[in-house]
């Protein structure tokens, strides 16, 4: 059976047709250019062709047959979408849950190894994806994917700069979660906070502009990236411990492609005096496959 699959984040919605565990041509739509997910799907279908059912991965919590983007205005009603599209069914899953389903299908060519570690067969795996937001999921071999909203856990500072940034952002908005600092939106927040704390005037920049400015030598952009990667490394270590992820920790998401010092990342990842040796045995890999969400949805459709 041919299944329409869609990986829908706060910025981009990517659609394809899946059959037999693989997928074909990808059609991308910008979320901001469509009022509803139905409008975006209808815009993509002429380039894809017919399908019998659909599985959509949503960057937000799933409540039965309904969902809403955490960082966007789209709302999803599975039965209503199925009726409007004349499909047998529409299934909604969390976007990181979809990526987690891809982990068993990844090959050596689909990942970049940062820490070899000693993987334990059958042990849980974790995937952390800083994109527009901060997604986290697990994969339990023999059981399947585990959706979480761990990106909304509180942010835990570990040095004076992080503590100052946490105090600065708390004064502005109240409670601060990890996603507020460890995501594409969070990188821009870090950049603004560091500029204010250091008393340096810089233009407002988004993630790609911050990376470009860092390469050009901007001290605020460089520090923002350094703080981002230190914080993300610590968060990844927390998730590894939380899920018992001796099967490996995988990084995905657009922001994970930003430049980083891997040695510094791993030092912070392992920085738990009583658990350093345990974390040193956890494989750490960055996913280089261009569409891990669609790959996972194709496995789930199969």
CA 145 to chain centre: 15
In tens, the pLDDT along 245-302 reads 999 999 998 777 777 889 999 999 999 999 999 999 999 999 999 999 999 999 999 9
Which pLDDT value is given to residue 266? Answer: 96
CATH number of 3-94+292-301: 3.30.420.40
pTM of the predicted model, to two decimals? 0.90
Contact indicator for 252, 127 with CB cutoff of 8 Å: yes
Give 132-155 as a 3 state SS string.
CCEEEEEEECCCEEEECCHHHCEC
Which pLDDT value is given to residue 261? Answer: 87
Could you say which of 3.40.640.10, 3.30.70.20, 3.40.367.20, 3.40.50.12780 is the CATH number of the domain covering 117-282?
3.40.367.20
Nearest to 260 by CA among 292, 284, 233, 220: 233
Q: Where are the domains of the chain?
A: 3-94+292-301, 117-282
Which pLDDT value is given to residue 237? Answer: 97
- Asked whether residue 70 carries a pLDDT value surpassing 90, the answer given is no
Which pLDDT value is given to residue 254? Answer: 79
Mean predicted confidence (pLDDT) in 92-98: 94
Q: How confident is the model at residue 10 (pLDDT cuts 50, 70, 90)?
A: confident
- Asked whether residue 182 carries a pLDDT value surpassing 90, the answer given is yes
- Asked whether residue 85 carries a pLDDT value surpassing 90, the answer given is yes
Q: Regarding predicted confidence, which is higher, 256 or 187?
A: 187
Contact indicator for 59, 183 with CB cutoff of 8 Å: no
In tens, the pLDDT along 45-69 reads 999 999 999 999 998 889 999 999 9
Which pLDDT value is given to residue 92? Answer: 97
The per-residue pLDDT of the chain, averaged, comes to: 94
Mean predicted confidence (pLDDT) in 15-34: 95
Q: How confident is the model at residue 241 (pLDDT cuts 50, 70, 90)?
A: very high
In tens, the pLDDT along 122-178 reads 999 999 999 888 999 999 999 999 989 899 999 999 999 999 999 999 999 999 999
- Asked whether residue 107 carries a pLDDT value surpassing 90, the answer given is yes
């Amino acid at each position: 059976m041919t299944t329409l699959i869609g990986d829908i984040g706060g910025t981009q919605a990517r659609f394809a047709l899946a059959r037999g565990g693989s997928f074909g041509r990808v059609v991308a739509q910008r979320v901001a250019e469509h009022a509803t997910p139905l409008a975006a799907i209808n815009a993509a279908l002429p380039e894809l062709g017919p399908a019998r059912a659909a599985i959509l991965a949503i960057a937000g919590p799933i409540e039965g047959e309904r969902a809403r983007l955490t960082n966007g205005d789209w709302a999803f009603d599975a039965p209503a979408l199925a009726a409007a599209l004349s499909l047998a069914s529409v299934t909604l899953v969390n976007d990181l849950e979809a990526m987690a389903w891809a982990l068993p299908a990844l090959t050596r060519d689909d990942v970049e190894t940062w820490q070899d570690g000693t993987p334990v067969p059958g042990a849980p795996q974790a995937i952390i994806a800083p994109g527009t937001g901060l997604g986290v999921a697990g994969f339990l071999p023999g059981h399947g994917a585990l959706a979480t909203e761990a990106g909304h856990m509180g942010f835990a500072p570990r040095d004076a700069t992080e503590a100052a940034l946490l105090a600065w952002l708390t004064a502005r908005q109240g409670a601060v979660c990890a996603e507020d600092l460890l995501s594409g939106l969070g990188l821009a927040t870090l950049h603004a906070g560091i500029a204010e704390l250091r008393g340096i005037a810089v233009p407002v920049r988004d993630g790609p502009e911050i990376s470009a400015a860092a390469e050009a030598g901007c001290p605020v952009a460089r520090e923002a990236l350094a703080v981002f990667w230190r914080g993300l490394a610590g968060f990844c270590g927390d998730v590894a411990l939380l899920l018992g992820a001796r099967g490996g920790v995988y990084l995905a998401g657009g922001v994970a492609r930003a430049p980083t010092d891997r040695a510094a990342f791993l030092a912070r990842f392992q920085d738990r005096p009583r658990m350093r040796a345990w974390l040193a045995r956890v494989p750490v890999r960055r996913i280089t496959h261009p569409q891990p969400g669609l790959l996972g949805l194709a496995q789930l459709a199969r």
